[in-house]
Amino acid sequence: MNRVKLLFFATLRDRAGTKSMELDIPADLTVQGLKDKISDEYPNLKDSMSSVIITIDREYASDEAVIPPNAELALFPPVSGG
């Protein structure tokens, strides 16, 4: 198992009910796998997982990226601007 820290921002923080949490995940889990895990375990966040932006150790990550041990992951809702 791999322990990671999740940081929630903006509306995701409200839906999660916390600004951060630690989570045990399987080794070699991808970002998409993490989104699936969060959707299953935290129903309030399920709708957000299809459009969430995730960084791993402060770098944007694709859905195929493998999450390294002891990583810090930040989850952001999609941003629009003008």
Q: What are the pLDDT digits (tens) for 15-61?
A: 999 999 999 999 999 999 999 999 999 999 999 999 999 999 999 99
Q: Taking the model in full, what pTM does it have?
A: 0.92
Q: What is the CATH number of the domain that holds 10?
A: 3.10.20.30
24 assigned to some structural domain: yes
* Cβ burial 14-50 (10 Å sphere, 16+ → b, else e): ebbeeeeeebebeeebebeebbeebeeebeebeebbe
46 assigned to some structural domain: yes
- Evaluate if residue 81 carries a pLDDT over 90: no
82 assigned to some structural domain: no
Domain that holds residue 32: 2-67
Query: What's the distance, Cα to Cα, between the start and end of the chain in Å?
Result: 42
Number of domains in the chain: 1
